[in-house]
Amino acid sequence: GAVVSQHPSWVICKSGTSVKIECRSLDFQATTMFWYRQFPKQSLMLMATSNEGSKATYEQGVEKDKFLINHASLTLSTLTVTSAHPEDSSFYICSARDLSTGTNEQFFGPGTRLTVL
């Protein structure tokens, strides 16, 4: 299947700083990528849909000014957590939709663990 990578896999930052997480589709083009957040022992909650060349669509309750999403190319989307605070500590997962498959299958990255001190 198609491969989606995330970088970094693990990051620790100080409160008040910003952190950027990259999501890349390695062997297919993804006009749409999705960003999820997963708290320990909980399910994946969709934060936003990232659209190449246009603004991201945020889910209700997600602060778009805090979680900046940029989808500058067909293979890269970035999520920037601005002015991070300890409550932003979580596991962030991206996924990309491969529209070349008949079922538009979604492939997930390995996730990024963010710890804010």
- Per-residue binding string, other proteins, 1-30, x by CB under 8 A, is x-----------------------------
Q: How far is CA 59 from CA 1, 2, 33, 99, in A?
A: 28, 26, 14, 22
Tell me: does residue 58 bind other proteins (CB under 8 A): no
- Residues linked to residue 49 through DSSP beta bridges, in sequence order: 34, 57
State which residue, 13 or 91, has the beta carbon closest to other proteins: 91
Task: Give the interface segment with other proteins, choosing from 20-28, 44-52, 68-76, 79-87 (CB under 8 A).
Answer: 44-52
């934060």: which residue's tokens?
47
Tell me: does residue 71 bind other proteins (CB under 8 A): no
Q: Pick from 26, 55, 110, 117: which binds other proteins (CB under 8 A)?
A: 110
Size of the site for other proteins (CB under 8 A): 22
State which residue, 22 or 105, has the beta carbon closest to other proteins: 105
Smallest distance, other proteins to C-beta of residue 104, A: 5
Q: E strands along the chain, which residues?
A: 4-7, 10-13, 19-25, 32-38, 44-51, 57-58, 67-73, 76-81, 90-97, 106-108, 112-116
Q: How far is CA 70 from CA 1, 53, 62, 78, 86, in A?
A: 25, 9, 15, 5, 23
Tell me: does residue 34 bind other proteins (CB under 8 A): yes
